[in-house]
């Protein structure tokens, strides 16, 4: 009986850790060109998930996101941009219009995805997952555009940054570089 209980506990702990660490990779999302993408493509990478908008006071953060992507993509960083129109209608365009804006205005070449809802009844499953995860910063619903979720190489949420934290800030860069060094 002791062996059975011990094995049961070991199995529960192992499957619990596996679920937490790999849940991020279980999502499929639609890229800005309408193609389905499995987040499992990013296993082994440090991922920064950002909800973005084209007509927001934080929109210039696209430049910082592109800069850190260019500086660290060869080190294993991937940035995933998810346009959302949840905050004062600041992302009204179609996917094609958003793609054109990001490319022409900011030279964005990190992966962009189809517009999603990041809060409310129609919240995308990925963002339900991300906002439910405990982390050292905070959890709960997204308050505005350009919130950032830092995912480690195992698919676990490590940090979350509010909109006011710029991509090239010391706070975000040090957390990012710490994860890349692992």
Count of CB atoms situated within 10 Å of the CB of 25:
16
Element (H, E) at 149: strand 148-151
pLDDT at 22: 65
Distance CA 83, CA 50 (A): 8
Residues annotated as catalytic (active site), given as ranges: 56
Question: DSSP state, 23?
Answer: G
pLDDT at 48: 99
Set out the domains of the chain in order of their start, with CATH numbers: 2-181 (3.40.30.10)
Which ranges in the chain belong to alpha helices (H)? 2-22, 61-72, 95-106, 125-132, 170-181
The token duo for 84 is 């959302």
Burial class (CB in 10 A: 0-12, 13-18, 19+), 28: exposed
Distance CA 178, CA 125 (A): 28
The 3-state DSSP class for residue 15 equals helix
pLDDT in tens, 87-100: 999 999 999 999 99
pLDDT in tens, 16-74: 334 445 699 999 999 999 999 999 999 999 999 999 999 999 999 999 999 999 999 99
């Amino acid at each position: 009986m002791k062996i059975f209980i011990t094995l049961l506990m070991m199995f529960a702990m192992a499957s619990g850790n596996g679920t937490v660490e790999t849940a991020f990779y279980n999502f499929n999302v639609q890229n800005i060109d309408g193609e389905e993408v499995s987040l499992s493509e990013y296993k082994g990478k440090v991922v920064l998930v950002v909800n973005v908008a084209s007509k927001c006071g934080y929109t210039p953060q696209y430049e910082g996101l592109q800069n850190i992507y260019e500086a660290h993509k060869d080190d294993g960083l991937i940035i995933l941009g998810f346009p959302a129109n949840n905050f004062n209608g600041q992302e009204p365009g179609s996917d094609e219009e958003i793609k054109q804006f990001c490319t022409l205005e900011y030279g964005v070449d990190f992966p962009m995805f189809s517009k999603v809802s990041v809060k409310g009844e129609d919240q995308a499953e990925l963002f339900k997952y991300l906002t439910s995860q405990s982390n050292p910063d905070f959890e709960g619903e997204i308050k505005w555009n350009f919130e950032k979720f830092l995912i480690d190489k195992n698919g676990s949420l490590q940090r979350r940054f509010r909109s006011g934290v710029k991509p090239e800030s010391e706070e975000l860069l040090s957390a990012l570089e710490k994860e890349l060094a692992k």
